[in-house]
Structure 1
Amino acid sequence: MRLRIQVAEDGTPTAVKIERSSGSDTLDHQAMESVRKNWRWPAGKAGAYTVPMNFTLK
């Protein structure tokens, strides 16, 4: 899976889009929610970032 994340000047994600799906709607949704709620970049790092995410099912 790969996400495209837009980051504001204060380091918070302002938009999260799926660039390449994991193939599971549930995993895609959980990944986007995790980024929105938990991820932060250092202040001053505004921009768009492409982030790969790998999942391991146990």
Structure 2
Amino acid sequence: MRLVCIQDACTRLHVPERTLRRLLATKSLPGIKFKRKWWIFEADLEAYLQKLRRSLRTM
């Protein structure tokens, strides 16, 4: 499992940093704070994105 810095994830996904920080705050996305940065497991991020895509398709 790879850890991804929240800033790298934001640039990769083209979303503002506050969006991922809000998900971390609401516990929708698990994260770890290490060396003054938030880190997310890449697998958790991919799973959350797939869940979002499925919910958007059903709308």
Q: TM-score, normalised by structure 2?
A: 0.33
Compare the two structures and name the one with the higher helix fraction.
Answer: 2
The structure, 1 or 2, with the larger RCO (C-alpha pairs under 8 Å, 6+ apart) is 1
Q: TM-score, normalised by structure 1?
A: 0.34
